[in-house]
Structure 1
């Protein structure tokens, strides 16, 4: 009993010494809370604006499609009127019947194709809206918690013990807020790694994996550039389906929980192809052409970001070029891959010259990170918590860089771990794994992390 009391007294003494030896940090804590509160509020406003923009885009696209159908009908009716001049009797009746058949055909085509596309778009809008609404709800809860702590901190005064307790409690809620803001500073810790063969009998040669994308249910899509295929892997990383691309696919990104966009690039073909995963099958959908090469692709709500090798462009999902965000023609292939932070306020691009660039949403350069371990960085990915992963192709290294894009947090894998010419990298939340694709190798590497 005496030993237990002595132990408790020792703990009390340690806490007392800790609080007496450290400054209260009350002012700094209050400032940090105010800063995070402001950023959470800004994120809420941005997310609500994104929902409104998404719904507006859908309505505008629907109106264009309906107007196009009306135009087709009016054009055909005008042609029929012109052709009916000078006709009578049986010929006139024949023209009327032919016109009815053609009008019916146009309407049926609208029902079968356009209406289907509109319904698919509507489902996508509902899905994205649900995801964003859920995020807004989380932001609201965190904002309320932060506000309560902020009020408490302002009332503590000079009480050092209470300040320490408040700091400990605030640290957790602030970390939650930073995660929502895509500013997680947590470094991954690799627990184990495995390799999985992704070659299939119809492949003409060794796999050349240039893109990886993970669906919310844990299924994985990989881009096999050399064999011109997009392959669907199950949660055990076995190929269960594939789709043959008409040209060389180079990158891939998630659009909705069941749809991805694939960047296709050859000397003559530069396009974005959309593919839907439907009951374990890959179904090609709409696509649009680009007037420049495409080396990388990323998506955030209704914005599509595409790198050309020398520029970073922003497109709408229907293929409309919005603007050129970044350009640097001073080096060979300086703008290779791109990624977007979870909140969309930061863009990341890789340069062949050992660099990772961090840009603001408008393309303003915020930070440059240079590292010999990033020699020829090709793989680039941002996790849902904002952790930045990047591969050094020639240095055979996978790094995690801070969300600010200014410093390395940790080296995740090297040549000793089997990393040889790494190209794409992607994080899977379902399995807490980092997946790495390799250049001219039939295997992908999977690193389990905490």
Structure 2
């Protein structure tokens, strides 16, 4: 009976000790330390219980007869249990001491974290205050400055940007159908020393500052003309350059036609042509136009829309009979209309932005059209190579407004056309390295 009571006491001590550790320490001390302490306490209780529950007598002979059993000495469990400490007060004191140490560590840790946070906030306040003072000082300097000084470069840039915006605003003011009137012309030669006796001007475009880019498919060059129509720079390309169009006030895209078809971007910097990135096409390129980040590229059979990255977005139009009728293309300044010429059908086709046909125009004075151009004001110009004419068509592509330069081309008809808003003139490519410049009233 006495042994049963003592065994129950040991069990109660073990349960109370474990509950005390769980309630008072595990929420405070680190997990690893708490787990270690709980495990040690559990083992101590198990030893105390097992010491009383184990039989006092052992059949040594029976144990020695067991297979693979080796034992040199056997001690009585009762004697061994006398060496264990049963002083609960001592155990409680040890636990309380350990708890105080853990609380002290946690307190120091919290104080260290609070100190770091306080130092961080003080440093951030100092940095923000310095930045604020610098910003306010700079703003005060700008507010006290009423003039920008005699900055000719800045005035020139502002003037060019304003001219470009004003030119685009003409369409809104209803100038797209205003008839152009010529008041004289002159001839310019755009050859360079390395040229042979032949050339083939396949495309032209005018930048807002009046500089002109010319693509020559025979010499495989792109040339830059100044406002006096003199060649100031040229760039050799890997394949025959075809059509060309403006992308930004200083950047253009030119199609390179060969075994592989590429679109080459070029930049005009300090009156020098600088080639930049390219992307490959899976079809040929007969025409190219740009509007607000979209490239419109014709292949002879279809008209596609591309992103400037080179990703094909969609096919807008294709010839219903699969014939070669989708040659050069152009886009209106507002981007709501697309224009296509067919060299074989002698037609000008007007499309909506989604590719639906709006109008189809033919004329006896428009034979074998090779190029078309839309001015910044929205006026549509088409040049007929066989008819040797330049026609102005209304923005809807339904009627002719004027016919220019008829029968003045000798043996060479017009091959490319563009309009310069800076100089108010129509520029037409013809013959061998020759361009005709027509002044517009």
What band does the TM-score fall into relative to the shorter chain? 0.5 to 0.7
Q: What pairs up with 1:330-341 in 2 under 5 angstroms?
A: 330=321, 332-341=323-332
Contact 1:182 1:342 in 2 (8 A): no
Q: Does the 8 A contact of 1:182 with 1:341 survive in 2?
A: no
> Paired residue for 1:285, among 251, 276, 280?
276
Distance 1:355 1:363 in 2: 17
Q: Which has the higher helix share?
A: 1
Alignment partner of 2:403 out of 408, 411, 417:
411
When residues 131 and 431 of structure 1 are mapped into structure 2, their CA distance, relative to the original with a 3 A threshold, is: closer
The residue number in structure 2 matching 1:299 is 290
Q: Per-residue displacement from partner, 1:387-439 (whole Å, max 9, x unpaired)?
A: 0000111111111000010000000112226683212110000110000112x
1:126-165 Cα distance to aligned partner (Å, 9 max, x none): x9xx979x96xx89xxxxxxxxxxxxxxxxxxxxxxxxxx
Task: Within 5 Å, give how 1:269-284 maps onto structure 2.
Answer: 269-284=260-275
User: Which residue is 2:355 aligned to?
Assistant: 363
Paired with 2:435 and 2:250, the residues of 1 have a C-alpha distance of 22
Segments of structure 2 that go 5 or more residues without pairing to the other structure are: 1-156
Match for residue 326 of structure 1 among 317, 320, 330 = 317
Q: What SS class does the counterpart of residue 171 from structure 2 fall into?
A: helix
* Structure of higher CA gyration radius: 2
Post-superposition shift, 1:178? Answer: 7.0
> Aligned Cα RMSD in Å?
2.3
Partner residue in 2 for 1:258: 250
Distance 1:234 1:432 in 2: 15
Q: How does 1:138-177 map to 2 (within 5 A)?
A: none
Pairing 1:114-193 to 2, within 5 Å after superposition: 179-180=171-172, 184-193=176-185
Q: Which residue of 2 aligns with 1:203?
A: 195
Instruction: Report the Cα offset of residue 204 of structure 1.
Output: 3.3
* 1:394–1:213 distance in 2 versus 1, CA, 3 Å: same
- Aligned-partner Cα distance in 1 for 2:324–2:391: 21
| Higher RCO structure, 1 or 2 (CA under 8 Å, sep 6+) | 1
Q: Taking structure 1 as reference, are residues 178 and 241 closer, same or farther at Cα in structure 2, changes over 3 Å only?
A: closer
- Give TM-score, length-normalised by structure 2: 0.61
Pick which of 290-299 and 320-329 moved more: 320-329
The 3 A distance-change label for structure 1 pair 322 and 375 is same
SS at match of 1:179: coil
CA contact 1:296–1:307 (8 Å) conserved in 2 = yes
Which ranges of structure 1 fall in alignment gaps of 5 or more residues? Answer: 1-126, 140-175
| Pair 1:190–1:331, CA change in 2 (3 A) | farther
CA shift for structure 1 position 207: 1.9
Say yes or no: does 1:221 pair with 2:213. yes
Q: Which residue does the alignment assign to 2:108?
A: none
* Equivalence for 1:55: none
Q: How many residues align?
A: 281
Contact 1:213-1:220 within 8 A present in 2 as well: yes
Query: If the length of structure 1 is used for normalisation, what is the TM-score?
Result: 0.59
Report the CA distance between 1:373 and its aligned residue.
1.6
Give the structure 2 partner of residue 378 of structure 1: 370
Distance 2:255 2:175 in 1: 28
**Matches of 1:384 and 1:264, distance apart in 2:** 26
